[in-house]
Amino acid sequence: MTPPADHRTARYQADPDQVSRVLLLYSGGLDTSVMLHWIQAQYGAEVSTLTVDLGQPDQDWTAITDKARDMGSAETLVVDAREEFCSEYIAPAIRANALYGGGYPLFTALARPLIAKVAVEAARELGCDTIAHGCTGKGNDQVRIDATIAALAPELKVLAPVREWSMGREEEIAYAREHRIPVSGGTRQAPYSIDDNLWGRSSEGRAIEDLDQPPPADVFRLVTRPEEAPDEPEFLRLGFEAGRPVTLDGDRLDLIDLIDEVSERGRRHGVGIVDHIEDRIVGLKVRDIYEVPAAAIILSAHKDLEKLVSTIHQNNFKAALDDRWAYLCYAGLWLEPLRQDLDAYMVAANEFVTGEITVKLYKGSASVVTRSSPYALYDKTLAGFGESGGEFSQLASPGFIELFSLQTRMAHEVRRRER
Ligand code: ARG
């Protein structure tokens, strides 16, 4: 078979004539399974697969590698990157209160640069010339993966068959049938495009694209519908050290287990459903349904504690940097120096974000109900309503107000006269 025509527009794209050893990012789903066959057939290339464990629930890694091996994969790697994901990606995101568009905790966006990095390491180890992935040409994930690979490994090329082939879902299923690629039971109606890891789960496509309709019930696979959540609230106590969650109800847990446990409790109480209209980096708008129980709880707790220990100036300043951090992460520019500069700021700003927060989970909501910190800038004896004494002098307030409002009063007067 002759390799496909050369349609390259970027130098990191694979040259059809020079694809000989490919590392395929493999999930075991329909797209990447068809790809595993297609790349071997089209390019006569040797293909190895890499599957990265980032805490996707209910995955049978052995079944995935068996399937890849049956389909001719030379090496079938599974890399457990959960620890690195937690400490190098999720923990920084927590310090930065990372939400894109005010609602999306970025679990997919955080995962992609790590997947790309693991892929580069594996490709080099196996002597591959090309990394292949299953991203479409319409999404953000292609940006994140391509940009990271191209930055880390200029010698490697990228192949994204879904961007090039003209197969839709039906054609892919037909291709799979024709070439005896096992198509798992639910695939025929697999109604949504799903991505998940330990920080959250997203669903896109099909019925979710009908903006005038509420999300269909079958979208929700993680979080209980708030209507069906228990009638009794549950309280959960999170301890932070320098902005990193380290204890749950007083027990010290590593971040993977802590996120798992918080997620489990949030799910039961219907916490973390986000129905989100999002601006993709490639210009399209999309509607996503997110199920993010752990992120919803941990991010609100973190932000609350941060406010308690930071000054008014720090608090007013940081939100803008948080937004910028989230944007760079979303946009796939994980390796952008500005993101790393901002990280340094986030670490500094979190030095004293240590303490405990209690969150109440109840029918879809996660609300902070208690907070404590040895570094709280909160003095109950000064805060008391109407009481005098201590270091706060109410008698000094009128002087403060007179000076503080000086320019505002002058400007108001000047404008009043002119109008
Ligand atoms: N909209 C989110 C993002 O761009 C989630 C994308 C989910 N990816 C997927 N392949 N279904 O990060």
pLDDT tens readout for residues 303-347: 999 999 999 999 999 999 999 999 999 999 999 999 999 999 999
Start-to-end Cα distance in the chain: 79
Residue in the block written with tokens 């694209």: 209
**Region 36-60: what's the mean pLDDT?**
97
Instruction: Write the burial class of residue 344 (CB in 10 Å: 0-12 exposed, 13-18 middle, 19+ buried).
Output: exposed
Domain annotation covers residue 317: no
CA distance 360 to 172: 46
Same domain, 184 and 211: no
Strand partners, 251: 248
CA distance 325 to 319: 10
Domain annotation covers residue 230: yes
Q: Which pLDDT belongs to residue 7?
A: 77
CA distance 118 to 131: 11
In a mutational test of the pocket of ligand 1, which residue from 141, 197, 219, 274 has the highest number of ligand atoms less than 8 Å from its CB? 141
- C-alpha 312 – ligand 1 centre gap (Å): 35
* Closest C-alpha among 214, 208, 232, 226 to residue 293: 226
**Region 49-71: what's the mean pLDDT?**
97
Q: Which pLDDT belongs to residue 379?
A: 87
Same domain, 49 and 130: yes
**Region 52-72: what's the mean pLDDT?**
97
Choice between 388 and 348, residue whose per-residue pLDDT is larger: 348
For atom 9 of ligand 1, the residue with the nearest CA is: 195
- C-alpha 127 – ligand 1 centre gap (Å): 30
Q: Please check the confidence at residue 186 and state whether its pLDDT lies above 50.
A: no
**Region 111-123: what's the mean pLDDT?**
98
| pTM assigned to the model | 0.96
Output b/e per residue, 206-221; b: 16+ Cβ within 10 A.
Answer: eebeeeeeebeeebbe
Q: What single-letter amino acid sits at 152?
A: L
Domain annotation covers residue 334: no
Identify the residues whose C-beta falls under 6 Å from ligand 1: 108-109, 140-141, 193, 195, 202, 204, 278, 288
Q: Which pLDDT belongs to residue 4?
A: 72
- C-alpha 201 – ligand 1 centre gap (Å): 9
Same domain, 287 and 223: yes
In a mutational test of the pocket of ligand 1, which residue from 99, 169, 204 has the highest number of ligand atoms less than 8 Å from its CB? 204
Number of helical H runs and strand E runs in the chain: 15, 14
Same domain, 272 and 394: no
Domain annotation covers residue 236: yes
- C-alpha 202 – ligand 1 centre gap (Å): 7
Q: What percent of the chain has pLDDT over 90?
A: 90
pLDDT band of 390, cuts 50, 70, 90: low
DSSP 8-state symbol, 14: P
Final residue belonging to a domain, choices 158, 189, 220: 189
**Is 124 labeled as catalytic in the residue annotation?**
no
Final residue belonging to a domain, choices 153, 168, 189: 189
Chain segment 397-415, per-residue pLDDT in tens: 999 999 999 999 999 999 9
Chain segment 260-280, per-residue pLDDT in tens: 999 999 999 999 999 999 999
Same domain, 366 and 384: no
CA distance 130 to 116: 12
Summary mean pLDDT of the chain: 95
For atom 1 of ligand 1, the residue with the nearest CA is: 288
**Is 275 labeled as catalytic in the residue annotation?**
no
For atom 2 of ligand 1, the residue with the nearest CA is: 108
3-class DSSP assignment, residue 377: coil
Take residue 170 and report the two structure tokens written for it: 């039906």
Same domain, 210 and 132: no
**Which of 27, 48, 73, 112 is flagged as catalytic?**
112
Q: Which pLDDT belongs to residue 312?
A: 97
pLDDT band of 205, cuts 50, 70, 90: very high
**Is 196 labeled as catalytic in the residue annotation?**
no
Q: Please check the confidence at residue 154 and state whether its pLDDT lies above 60.
A: yes
Take residue 309 and report the two structure tokens written for it: 């220990």
User: In terms of DSSP bridges, do strands 157-159 and 130-132 run parallel, antiparallel, or are they unpaired?
Assistant: parallel
In a mutational test of the pocket of ligand 1, which residue from 31, 54, 195 has the highest number of ligand atoms less than 8 Å from its CB? 195
* Closest C-alpha among 312, 331, 313, 344 to residue 143: 331
Angle in degrees, CA 276, 190, 72, rounded to 5: 120
Strand partners, 51: 78
Same domain, 177 and 248: no
pLDDT band of 187, cuts 50, 70, 90: very low
**Region 235-261: what's the mean pLDDT?**
98
Angle in degrees, CA 191, 193, 198, rounded to 5: 120
Q: What is the CATH number of the domain that holds 228?
A: 3.90.1260.10
Chain segment 289-306, per-residue pLDDT in tens: 999 999 999 999 999 999
3-class DSSP assignment, residue 72: coil
DSSP 8-state symbol, 372: E
Cβ neighbours of 84 (radius 10 Å)? 15
User: DSSP assignment of 152-192, as one string?
Assistant: H-TT-EEE-HHHH----HHHHHHHHHHTT----GGGGT--S
User: DSSP assignment of 180-247, as one string?
Assistant: T----GGGGT--SEEEEETTEEEEESGGGG-TTSPPPGGG-SSSPPGGGS-SS-EEEEEEEETTEEEE
* Closest C-alpha among 257, 245, 149 to residue 198: 257
- C-alpha 278 – ligand 1 centre gap (Å): 10
**Is 141 labeled as catalytic in the residue annotation?**
yes
Same domain, 85 and 233: no
Question: How many residues in total does the chain contain?
Answer: 419
Instruction: Name the residue range of residue 250's domain.
Output: 194-310+352-372
